[in-house]
Structure 1
Amino acid sequence: MHLTNHDIIELTAFRRHLHSMPEVSGEEVETAKEVARFMSATEPDAIIEGLGGTGVAVVYDSGKPGPTLLFRSELDALPIEETGTPDYRSTIPGKSHMCGHEGHMATLAALGRQFGRQRPSRGRVVLLFQPAEETGAGAAAVLTDRRFNEIIPDYSFSLHNFPGLPLGHVWLKPGTANCASRGLKITFTGRTAHASMPETGISPVPAIAMLMPSLTALSRGSIGTDDLVLATVTHAVIGEPAFGIAPGSGELWVTLRTMTDAQMQALVDAAEAMVQRVAGESGLSVALEYHDVFSHCENHPEAVTLLRDAMDAEAITHEAGEALRASEDFGRFGSVSKSAMYFIGAGENLPALHNPNYDFPDELIPIGARIFSRVARDVLG
């Protein structure tokens, strides 16, 4: 199964069209429609829409017993104003595909073209276009959708483009591939006072000033030693923007990040104990909320072997590399299947992911499709 030059031209145009119409997590309605429309031309055996919200699953079934292989991409873009100037730049103010998810979608579309022409010899291939990866909510929503029971995979695979690596060069690390993370929102409530008599109120300022360095000090280790624990203060709000009022409330936002879920629980326990102690000593009431919760992403050894063998067969350079600090909700698919994700180089001199002028290299579409296609052929024939 090979992509033709005509395929590459159309897939590139599809990627650029998606780039021009970004939708953020949970709002990918039009993106999902475009994906379903494009994939319907490959005449799959089934298209499941609205999966986990706006997700789309495209199924190519041999009609014979065998494993189910799931290949996953993301639908969502980011709330970032694009500053690059391609002809196909974002037409939606304040939103853009600065993580390359539109390129991942085009890569799966390339795979769909191949399996539309020739089904696997046994089993099934499922192409999943998943919503809300950026918030960590999408994979969980897909997995809890009752219709996912119809396509539960034996193996799940995904990729992510990675600027900084040579174009087409792959990192594929056994074990932890992405860190666990979550956002901790700490809300303090005290009592306002006149700014001339702050002693008559209860201010959150001392508590927040103490917690900023203290929470950060919980950090230790490194990615290189597979024991990273990181607490990063990202936002703080204190009182009202007025000179006459001593504040009676405040918020502190902290991102907690660890190599594993077990480490995350220990970090959560330590952070919560510290916050409760400082709030109590300051006479403040406190509420804790968690947002954007990501489990760590663990690459299964069997799935890693399948990817490595496929890359060797396709003469694609790869090495173990290292885990990424960034989180990825693909890790949740490891709870239902043997899963693995690899990172494919977008080039050494490109802007970083989430930079406002990033643009996914179109050259990666056929490379990623070759790897996934070879895995499918090796397993399913």
Structure 2
Amino acid sequence: MLLSGDDLSALAAWRKALHRAPDLSGREEATAREVRRFLAPTRPDRIVTGLGGHGLAFVYQGAGPGPTVLLRAELDALPIEEVSTVAHRSDRPGVAHLCGHDGHMAILAGVARALAAERPKRGRAVLLFQPAEEDGSGAEAVLADPKFSDIAPDFCFALHNMPGLPLGTAALKAGPVACASRGMRLTLTGRTAHASMPGQGVSPMAALAALMPALTALGKGGSLDERFAMVTVTHAEMGARSFGVAPGEAEVWATLRALTDARMERLRAAAEALARRLADAESLATTIGYSDAFAACVNAPAAVARLAAALDAEGVPRGEAGQPMLASEDFGVFGRVAPSALFLLGAGEDRPGLHNPDYDFPDALIGIGARVFLRVLCDLLG
């Protein structure tokens, strides 16, 4: 199962087309439609659509019974304005593929082309194009979708390109590889008053001033072990933009981060208790909400062994640099249903970082990523 030079050129051109037309999390209908169009010539035995939103899976059936192996790529882009000068820069203001999901899709499309030429000898290969990875909701939605039971995998694999690692090298290890995180929104509600008579109101000022440093003190980072926790205040505001009104409400946004789900639960409980204690001291009401919640991503040893063998067979240098990473990745939830592993594929040491406004996925990784995944499929499915 090999890709030709013409295949790689076509995949790179398609990747650039995806880059020009990005879709935000949960709004990937056009991207999903384009993926289906581009993969139609590979003649999948089955296409499952509407998975967890706009997700879709392409199933390639082997000749005999065997395991089901799922490979995942992501459909969504980021709400960031691209500033690069590449010819294929985003056509959509304020939306861009600055995390490399366009490249991940091209890698899976390469796998599909190879499967079109040669089906597995046994089992099933499932290529999942997942929605809404960037806000942490997509993988959960896919697993909750009743249609997912029809493609229940025995192994799950994914990759993520990683600037800062040498181009074409891999980082792989068993155990935690990406942090759990969640966005916490705290609202402190009192009562407004005339600015000349602030005592007639209930101001959130003192609670807000105390809350921000106290939250960050709950998690100061440090070594990436089971004790690791980090809290980053990302937004705060108080009152109306008026010189005549003493404030009656304030809001704080903070990102909670931990290496394990258990540590995240302790951090969340501590942050909630802190917020309520400071609010109560100032006679304020408190509401707490969450979004962008990511479980910790933990690689299963059995799945890591399969990836390690494939990387070695394909001559891709590997180590453990860059793992675990501070960033989050919702692929971790697939570990609930099957042994799963994610590896990092180096995008170059001098390339802009992920989510930077001038990031662009290196097309040289398309062939490498596809080869590694195809080797995994060959090893497991023959």
Fold similarity call, TM over 0.5: yes
Q: Which residue of structure 2 lines up, in the alignment, with residue 358 of structure 1? A: 359
- 2:258 counterpart of 1:261: no
AA partner of residue 149 (structure 1): S
More off after superposition, 312-321 vs 257-266:
312-321
Deviation digits for residues 124-175 of structure 1 (CA, Å, limit 9, x no counterpart)? 0000000000011100111111111100100000000000110011111210
| Superposed CA RMSD | 0.9
Residue 59 (structure 1) aligns with: 59
Deviation of 1:226 (Å)? 4.9
CA separation of 1:112/1:89 partners in 2, compared to 1, >3 Å: closer, same or farther?
Answer: same
Match for residue 164 of structure 1?
164
**1:41-60 superposed matches below 5 A:** 41-60=41-60
Q: Which residue of 2 aligns with 1:19?
A: 19
Q: Is the 8 A contact 2:224 2:259 kept in 1?
A: no
Question: Displacement of 1:86 after TM fit?
Answer: 1.0
- Render the CA deviation track for 1:79-133: whole Å, top value 9, x for unaligned: 1111001111100111000000000000000000011111111100000000000
SS of equivalent residue, structure 1 residue 65: strand
| Matched residues, number | 381
Distance 2:189 2:99 in 1: 37
Which residue type is aligned with residue 39 of structure 1?
Answer: L
Q: Does 2:118 align with 1:122?
A: no
For residues 22 and 303 of structure 1, the distance between their equivalents in structure 2, rounded to whole angstroms, comes to: 31
Q: Which residue is 1:77 aligned to?
A: 77
Other-structure match for 1:346:
347
User: What letter corresponds to residue 182 of structure 2 in structure 1?
Assistant: R
Instruction: Give the residue type in structure 2 aligned to 1:190.
Output: G
Shift of 1:222: 2.7
- CA shift for structure 1 position 73: 0.4
Distance in 1 of aligned mates of 2:94 and 2:36: 25
- SS of the equivalent of 1:83 reads coil
Partner residue, 2:10: 10
Residues 258-277 of structure 1: per-residue CA shift (max 9 Å, x gap): 00000000001111111111
Structure 2 counterpart of 1:146, one-letter code: P
The percentage of aligned residue pairs carrying the same residue is 54
1:136 aligned to 2:136? yes
The 10-residue stretch of structure 1 (349-358 or 212-221) with the greater mean CA deviation from structure 2: 212-221
**How far apart, CA to CA, are the structure 2 residues paired with 1:104 and 1:47?**
19
Q: CA deviation at 1:290?
A: 0.8
- Tell me the equivalent position of 2:36: 36
Specify the alignment match of 2:100 in structure 1: 100
In structure 1, C-alpha distance between the alignment counterparts of 2:127 and 2:230, rounded to whole Å: 34
> Which residue pairs with 1:109 in the alignment?
109
Between the aligned partners of 1:144 and 1:352, the Cα distance in structure 2 is: 32
Is it true that 1:334 corresponds to 2:335 in the alignment?
yes
**Distance in 2 separating the partners of 1:223 and 1:166:** 24
Note the alpha carbon deviations across 1:237-257, whole angstroms, 9 max, x for none: 101111110100110111100
For 2:183 and 2:221, locate their aligned partners in 1 and report how far apart those are by CA, in whole Å: 20
When normalised by structure 2's length, the TM-score is 0.98
Asked if the contact 1:77–1:95 (Cα under 8 Å) also holds between the matched residues in 2, the reply is yes
1:253–1:332 Cα change, 3 Å = same
1:221 Cα deviation from its structure 2 partner: 4.8
**Alpha-carbon offset, residue 212 of structure 1:** 0.5
C-alpha distance in 1, partners of 2:222/2:148?
36
* Alignment partner, residue 376 of structure 2: 375
- Provide the C-alpha distance between the structure 2 equivalents of 1:12 and 1:228, rounded to a whole number of angstroms: 39
Question: Would you say the 8 A contact 1:52–1:143 is kept in 2?
Answer: yes
The aligned counterpart of 1:325 is: 326
- How far residue 320 of structure 1 moved from its aligned partner, in angstroms, is 1.7
Q: Secondary structure at the match of 1:67?
A: strand
Contact 1:26 1:54 in 2 (8 A): yes
Deviations 1:213-239 (A, max 9, x none): 001001145344453200110001101
1:267-278 maps to which residues of 2 (within 5 A)?
A: 267-278=267-278
Name the TM-score, length of structure 1 as normaliser: 0.99
Asked if the contact 1:223–1:325 (Cα under 8 Å) also holds between the matched residues in 2, the reply is no
Return closer, same or farther for 1:221/1:282 CA change in 2, 3 Å cut-off.
Answer: same
1:229-308 aligned within 5 A: 229-308=229-308
- What SS is found at the alignment partner of 2:66? coil
* 1: CA distance, partners of 2:105 / 2:43: 17
Partner residue of 1:206? 206
Letter in 1 for 2:378: R
SS at match of 1:327: coil
Q: Which runs of 5+ in 1 are unaligned?
A: none
Shift of 1:63: 4.0
Aligned mates of 1:179, 1:172 — CA distance in 2: 15
Q: Secondary structure at the match of 1:77?
A: coil
CA distance in 2, matches of 1:90, 1:139: 25
Q: Which aligned segments of 4 or more residues in structure 1 are displaced greater than 3 angstroms?
A: 223-227
**Which residue of structure 1 lines up, in the alignment, with residue 190 of structure 2?**
190
CA distance in 2, matches of 1:191, 1:107: 55
Q: Quick check: 1:221–1:227 contact (8 Å CA) kept in 2?
A: no
Q: Which amino acid aligns with 2:188?
A: F
- Structure 2: distance between partners of 1:273 and 1:260: 20
- Amino acid in structure 2 at the alignment position of 1:318: R
SS in 1 for 2:324: coil
Instruction: Name the amino acid aligned to 2:136.
Output: G
> How far, CA to CA, are the matches of 2:302 and 2:222 in structure 1?
26
* Matching residue's letter, 2:241: P
